[in-house]
Structure 1
Amino acid sequence: MKLIQDPLVLALIVALAITVFVAFRMRSAAARSARTADVAKEECARANRAVELRDEEARHLADRVLPGLLSQWQSGAQQAEGDVRPLHPSLVQTPTGQAFQAVLDQVTGLMSEAEARAEGAAKAAVQATTRSLQDLGYELQAEVTAMITKFDDETLLQRLMPVDHLASQLTRRLQVVGVLTGMWPGRQHSNAPVLDVARAGVSRIRDYQRIRVAPSLPYYLDGRAVEPLALLLGELMDNAARHSAPSTQVEVTWHDFHNCLGIAIHDAGPGMTPEVQQRVERLLLDGENVRLTGLGNPAMFGLPGVAALCARYGFRVGLDQQHSLAGGCRAMVLVPRTMLLEPPEEAPEPRHAASTSDTGPTGHRPTQRPGESPGYDLAADGLPQRRRGEHLPMVPRTPASQPPTAPVGNAMAAFSRGIGSTTNPHITPTPKETTS
């Protein structure tokens, strides 16, 4: 192979090679520059998107999350789940997401502290007011009862019984408010028949004449649960009567279950919407967290009080619209069997001379037919028939299944039977409350 001898040709070839090499390097550099520009554009786009996500998350925090928390704190309503979660979950682990969460934690902590202070102040104020009003209510009832016992006048009795009934309603409502502040319902009792406890609840509501209580099972209730259960049943009966037509009746039935006693209250009202039923069920299940500052405006005391009583004493209450006898709503109260007692054995009567308080106007003891319970007689108009100088329990000799024929005093006689449990020897009310 011959080498190129002409220097000119050799120079041209070298120059051409250099030109090709330089052009190739320039093209490679241009390609690298183009790729670098594309990468820079992508990185710039990603940075802009990240800034947009953070801006959107900040707007979501300011426009939805914080106002939702404030609204929830003010009204007590549940905040929607979508308003609590971050708008972009990819930012949760970033410094921005952690900073936003720190802001939420601080706001939530401040709201919880403010809520606790407001609840404590509200409970203290309401409790002090309720305690003073309860004492006045008990004194009023004691005075009315003393007048009823002292004076043997049917007209005066007819005027005083509605006053006593109004005082009972006032006391019941004060007791419910007091329970929401952590107070004891206010009365101590001995063991009592469950039927008497139900009648005590009936005697504390306005529409007591519309309540029909079925015959009781042979159970007594532990004295510690007597007043709470009477108050709970009174609230549910009052709720059933107020939410049904005045011409309808409220039926109270008994169900003996394996581990509890069921007390069912049936009304003939329109029932509840699914939303209201869900809210009531949540309230009854979460009675320990009932707050005075979350009762709404206007405040609702009845069902929150029932929920608080259930949480404190171990009762359970369920509402449904499928098993009501009257086509309305049924409230089922479950009393644990640990609160139930067997009826006590009757002690034999002592054989001693009759005192003057046990004798009639002629000095002889009134005759009592076999199987007849001691108590007062009902006159033809249905009013209690009293004898001067004798003290008898507020229990009529005429059974509830045999009402008097005369219509004049039927209402008063029914009311007397209804409040019989409040003066029953097994239930001893005290004029002063006892806080737990």
Structure 2
Amino acid sequence: MLDSQVTVTVLLGAGLVATSAGLIAETRSKRALAVRGASAEKQRAAAAAHVAALETEVRQFAEVTMPALVDVIARGYRGVPVPGLHQEQLVGTPVDLAHQAVRQILQEAVAVTRERIGRAARSSVRDIIDEAQTRLHRCQMSVLQEMERHPDGTAYHQSLMNFDHLVTQALHTLQRTRILTGSWPGLQRADCTVREVVESARGRISDYLRVSYTYEPGTGETWLEGRVVEPITVALTELLSNATAYSEGKVYVEVQAFQTGFCVFVDDGGLSMNGFQREEAARQLAQREVLDVTTVRDSGQLGFAVIGRLASEYGFVADVTSTSPQGGVRAVLRIPRELFGHGPSDVEIQAERHAAMVHTTEAPFTEGSLSPGGDGRTPPAVITGPGGLPMRRRRAARTAEPTPDRVPAPADDPDAFSAGLAHLGRTIHDTEQHAFEGDQPHD
């Protein structure tokens, strides 16, 4: 009897243990399933968040980043912020690398397209300028020949001077465009004095009567190398034009000598530039690149860009960050001693005298000798250079002290100044070698 009870008790205990173990196993299984379900839910949530982040990033790149890149790279807008990745957790991921690759491709595409357009446009512009410049040079030579046949002070002579002045301004406009397209000024000059350079630049602007030049023999009669005479003259013309355009009253020009060379000061009494204008002017004066015709905004504000191109090419320096004593802008043109010249040699002086004697004995210059279909005779006072191209003669060396007829007339006497400018214009033109078809710059 006892054995049966023990057996039943043991069996009941074993069943209870088995049942408890099953319940425990089932509970653990449910807990594991619950944990796995929660993990899967978290993974699904994380995946959904990642997809949303990618969608946001793609939308940000397409709607914000790309338009900003086009504004900066293609349209040339400055100050436009270009945002990076919107989601910081994507930095360094394949998405970030793909966006950087697209940026680089866009920059290269715009640069290649712009360069092709710019190269073609600059070539076309240079071809047009060459033809126009040649015709204007011929026109100016004809005017000068006509001026030499009539006495100074007459109404006809004055009208010829006015016409020559207009042609000179037109030539300067062509020069500045030619320089910005990567070409040389298109004119080779013989060695000239600093005074002749200043007066030549003065005669190329409209308000030349407002420019007062403080002449000193020690600086005014110093020779500059012919290779840089025209570039420096063009640069000084731009400074004088800028000074007279943005100020009223007199514009003062003074040349001072320093140990390293000469400084040409141009002082006006207009409004001084603000910080942004000075920064922009300094940027243009320091640039070396040719004109990008695809990003030009205002063609009337290219004077500093012209000076910057010439300064970097020929070795002088321009600066407009100072204030003039009159409260306006002080522009400084620094000419190093390496650009000084020696003037005409004895052989050139003898050639000048001989050409002058021949000129006095030759028949008057006939109309049409320079035009197509003329007799082809070289006009008086013009020497034929290498390749048969007409070339202006050099003039005799000047003494240290200027003679009375070479001292600039006071600017407040228009008639006297006009007569003096006419004499100086003929002298300066006699130093020029005009570049006709096929002529190349001489280094």
Give the alignment's Cα RMSD to 1 decimal. Answer: 3.6
In 2, Cα distance between equivalents of 1:63 and 1:131 = 47
Query: Following superposition of structure 1 onto structure 2, how do residues 157-176 of structure 1 map, counting pairs within 5 Å?
Result: 157-176=157-176
Is 1:236 the counterpart of 2:235? The answer is no
The alpha carbon displacement at 1:29 in A equals 3.3
The alpha carbon displacement at 1:102 in A equals 2.9
Aligned residue number for residue 135 of structure 1: 134
Is 1:397 the counterpart of 2:400? The answer is no
Is 1:147 the counterpart of 2:135? The answer is no
Residue 182 of structure 1: SS of its match in structure 2? coil
Aligned residue number for residue 78 of structure 1: 78
Select the residue among 219, 223, 227 that pairs with 1:224.
227
Aligned residue number for residue 195 of structure 1: 195
Answer yes or no: is the 8 Å Cα contact 2:265–2:331 preserved in 1: yes
Answer yes or no: is the 8 Å Cα contact 1:189–1:429 preserved in 2: yes
Aligned residue number for residue 290 of structure 1: 291
Which digits, 9 at most, give the CA deviation of each residue in 1:253-292, with x for residues without a partner? 3343443432222222223333333222222222325322
The alpha carbon displacement at 1:397 in A equals 2.2
**Which residue type is aligned with residue 412 of structure 1?**
S
The alpha carbon displacement at 1:136 in A equals 1.4
**Which residue type is aligned with residue 97 of structure 2?**
Q
The alpha carbon displacement at 1:33 in A equals 3.4
Query: Following superposition of structure 1 onto structure 2, how do residues 32-431 of structure 1 map, counting pairs within 5 Å?
Result: 32-78=32-78, 80=80, 82-83=81-82, 85-88=84-87, 90-152=89-151, 154-216=154-216, 217=219, 219-245=222-248, 248-297=249-298, 300-320=301-321, 322-341=322-341, 397-398=404-405, 400=407, 403=410, 407=413, 409-413=415-419, 415-416=421-422, 419=425, 422-423=428-429, 427-430=431-434
Residue 292 of structure 1: SS of its match in structure 2? coil
The alpha carbon displacement at 1:421 in A equals 5.8
Answer yes or no: is the 8 Å Cα contact 2:228–2:314 preserved in 1: yes
**Number of paired residues?**
391
Residue 318 of structure 2: SS of its match in structure 1? strand
In 2, Cα distance between equivalents of 1:401 and 1:175 = 26
Answer yes or no: is the 8 Å Cα contact 2:181–2:290 preserved in 1: no
The alpha carbon displacement at 1:317 in A equals 1.9
The alpha carbon displacement at 1:211 in A equals 1.3
Is 1:435 the counterpart of 2:440? The answer is yes
Q: Taking structure 2 as the reference length, what is the TM-score of the superposition?
A: 0.77
Which digits, 9 at most, give the CA deviation of each residue in 1:166-209, with x for residues without a partner? 11110001011011122221221222222221221111111111
In structure 2, runs of 5+ residues without a counterpart are: 351-355, 358-394
Q: Structure 1 residues 23 and 410, CA, compared in 2 at 3 Å: closer, same or farther? A: farther
Q: Structure 1 residues 142 and 107, CA, compared in 2 at 3 Å: closer, same or farther? A: same
**Stretches of 4+ moved more than 6 A in 1?**
342-347, 391-396
The alpha carbon displacement at 1:249 in A equals 1.5
The alpha carbon displacement at 1:149 in A equals 0.6
In 2, Cα distance between equivalents of 1:335 and 1:32 = 88
In 2, Cα distance between equivalents of 1:237 and 1:202 = 7
Q: Structure 1 residues 419 and 65, CA, compared in 2 at 3 Å: closer, same or farther? A: farther
Which digits, 9 at most, give the CA deviation of each residue in 1:223-278, with x for residues without a partner? 11111110111011101111112xx1112233434434322222222233333332
Answer yes or no: is the 8 Å Cα contact 2:246–2:270 preserved in 1: yes
Answer yes or no: is the 8 Å Cα contact 1:123–1:181 preserved in 2: yes
**Which residue type is aligned with residue 163 of structure 1?**
F
Q: Structure 1 residues 316 and 393, CA, compared in 2 at 3 Å: closer, same or farther? A: closer
Answer yes or no: is the 8 Å Cα contact 1:262–1:335 preserved in 2: yes
**Which residue type is aligned with residue 160 of structure 2?**
L
Q: Structure 1 residues 274 and 52, CA, compared in 2 at 3 Å: closer, same or farther? A: farther
Q: Taking structure 1 as the reference length, what is the TM-score of the superposition?
A: 0.78
Amino-acid identity (%): 24
The alpha carbon displacement at 1:418 in A equals 6.1
After TM superposition, the structure 1 stretch with the greater mean CA deviation from structure 2, 225-234 or 288-297, is 288-297
**Which residue type is aligned with residue 331 of structure 2?**
A
The alpha carbon displacement at 1:35 in A equals 3.4
In structure 1, runs of 5+ residues without a counterpart are: 351-355, 358-390
In 2, Cα distance between equivalents of 1:345 and 1:138 = 27
In 2, Cα distance between equivalents of 1:19 and 1:414 = 128
Answer yes or no: is the 8 Å Cα contact 1:191–1:220 preserved in 2: yes
In 2, Cα distance between equivalents of 1:404 and 1:294 = 40
Answer yes or no: is the 8 Å Cα contact 2:409–2:417 preserved in 1: no
Answer yes or no: is the 8 Å Cα contact 1:266–1:324 preserved in 2: yes
